[in-house]
């Protein structure tokens, strides 16, 4: 992936990170308001997504972004455009989901 593409995806990831972070803060504020301790599962998926975004940003820094973590093949550009934090190629993802 060339430096222009990397910076393009970095921009997408940073924007996604910001919106997820805001969403998490909002949810946490609501949890504080209601003083409830049982609302944790609500934030679970966002926290996982945030981890994925952080990981993808790290990969951009060390130039390993856009490569499937399972089979080391390149992830298609369309797939990255649709979901920049994705770390599996399409075939590994479908294997993962069907198992
Ligand atoms: Zn793969």
| pLDDT per position as a tens digit, 29-69 | 887 776 655 555 556 788 899 999 999 999 999 989 999 99
Cα–Cα distance measured from residue 53 to residue 75, given in angstroms and rounded to the nearest whole number: 16
Could you give the domains of the chain? Answer: 3-98 (1.20.120.910)
C-alpha 94 – ligand 1 centre gap (Å): 10
* 73 vs 45: which has the higher pLDDT: 73
The confidence score (pLDDT) of residue 31 equals: 74
* Two structure tokens written together for 53: 């975004």
Under DSSP, the state recorded for 74 is B
Model-level pTM? 0.81
C-alpha 13 – ligand 1 centre gap (Å): 21
Cα–Cα distance measured from residue 46 to residue 15, given in angstroms and rounded to the nearest whole number: 14
């Amino acid at each position: 992936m060339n430096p222009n593409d990397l910076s393009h995806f970095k921009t997408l990831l940073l924007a996604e990170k910001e919106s997820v972070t805001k969403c998490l803060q909002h949810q946490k504020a609501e949890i504080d308001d209601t003083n409830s301790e049982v609302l944790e599962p609500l934030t679970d998926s966002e926290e996982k997504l945030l981890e994925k975004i952080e990981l993808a940003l790290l990969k951009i820094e060390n130039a390993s972004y856009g490569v499937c973590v399972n089979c080391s093949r390149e992830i298609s550009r369309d797939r990255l455009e649709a979901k920049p934090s994705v770390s599996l190629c399409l075939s590994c993802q479908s294997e993962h989901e069907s198992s």
